[in-house]
Amino acid sequence: MTKTDLIIIGCGPGGYRAAEYAVKHGLTVTIIENKHAGGTCLNFGCIPTKCYAHDAEIGDCSDFRRIFERKKHVVEQLRNGIETLMMQPGITFVQQGKGFFKDAKTIKVGEDEFTADNIIIATGAHAKLPPIDGISSKCVVTSTELLEFEHIPENLCIIGAGVIGMEFASAFQRFGSNVTLVEFMNECLPTMDSDIAKRLRKCLEKRNIKFYLQSSVKAITDDSVVFERKGKEATIIANTVLVATGRVPNVKELNLKNAGVEYSGKGIPVNEDMQTNIPHIYAIGDVNGRQMLAHAAIFQGFRAVNHILGKNDSIRFDIMPAAVFTAPEAACVGLTAEQCAVQGIDCKEYKGYYRTNGKALASEVSEGMVKIITDNRNDKIIGCHIYGAHAANMVQEIAALMNCEITLSHFADIIHTHPTLGEILQDIAINR
């Protein structure tokens, strides 16, 4: 039996960054991964999709084989880097092995046993397949399978217009696919500001991406998707169907009952320190179902390790930036005006437009809008929502200001480089 201070199950962003952080602070770590270092994010999610987003954006999509191989190379390069990182002194890296609980302090991997006083579960999530007639059809794929395609689907139907569906739609349309999205809700990206989502959808519609909103898929065949909208049935011709209807936490094979850890189909409940109902067992990232974002998993891991070390931090999980890497991008942080209304917060909404910005015009990226939300009681910035070029980078500035609880008036006095897209943010503050 191998004994270390900490066991981490899962070597995705949350797991490997927590391991690195723990070792730097004097802990010994065993980290267990049943597939590839880097987890879903690196191998089948964030990184390969951003490779595709980049190639789609620069416009040379004639050689998909080159695009596919570049994606593979980037993933392999980063994976090798993580594997090397996990070989440093203080870390025992167990690869290609499924870890499960023997008891509350012991993890088995095959015939091997590992024990520690503290355990972090970072096993991520997998694609959810809804109960649709024909869901097992040969044309149905998840994002994982679609990323392994070495060809461009002629007709791609995407079920679900959330982040995953929108990113694949944007990229594969540029690659040459005829793309259709079917979404049950009344707008795409239902968790984002509704105005931003609508404007982004209209941008994609101008690129001949078809949207069927408020639509329910009834059946899938080998070459079509049957859906119902407003009581009427219709059929979409599709040789490939991407199911992008959410993700399910990976909990079933952990034998959590052996450790007494409570869980449900929504994941493993945790407190603000990422502790489960068993205090020395923590759960971070997608498996706890809180915020299914790679950077959320990373900082949840830092919080868990800090708690183990008895160390305080100032991480704000209520200020969580997020982005959709379509063309153009969309990004957000904090509250929307709609959420403020529900919570009874008296807010004010300010808008700015890319078309008035010198850098945007010079760079031919004039399509875009910014919203900044403030608390009317004290002028503090409590939200920001953007669609347009480099939205993900721009929203990060507002996230930093929100962490410092800066007012819009104070923001107006912060000098920005000229010409930059960031001046759109500043101009909102100056001209409010």
Residue boundaries of the structural domains of the chain? 2-126+247-309, 140-243, 328-430
pLDDT per residue as tens digits for the range 234-273: 999 999 999 999 999 999 999 999 999 999 999 999 999 9
Backbone phi, psi, residue 366, to 5°: -80, -5
pLDDT per residue as tens digits for the range 398-420: 999 999 999 999 999 999 999 99
The pLDDT assigned to 425 comes to 97
pLDDT band at 1 (very low <50, low <70, confident <90, very high): confident
Q: Do domains 2-126+247-309 and 140-243 have the same CATH topology?
A: yes
Find the catalytic residue in 25, 73, 151, 418: 418
State in Å, rounded, how far the first CA of the chain is from the last one.
64
Catalytic residue flag (residue 385): no
What mean pLDDT is predicted for residues 48-53?
96
What mean pLDDT is predicted for residues 36-50?
95
Alpha-carbon distance of 8 to 99, in angstroms, equals: 10
Alpha-carbon distance of 393 to 422, in angstroms, equals: 9
pLDDT per residue as tens digits for the range 75-131: 999 999 999 999 999 999 999 889 999 999 999 999 999 999 999 999 999 999 999
* Mean pLDDT estimate for the chain: 96
For 140-243, CATH number out of 3.40.50.300, 3.40.50.720, 3.10.580.10, 3.50.50.60 equals 3.50.50.60
CATH entry 3.40.50.2000 includes domain 2-126+247-309: no
Q: Is the pLDDT of residue 353 over 80?
A: yes
Fold of 328-430: Enolase-like; domain 1 (3.30.390)
Strand ranges in 152-221 using DSSP code E only, listed in sequence order: 155-159, 178-182, 210-212, 215-220
pLDDT band at 58 (very low <50, low <70, confident <90, very high): confident
The pLDDT assigned to 59 comes to 73
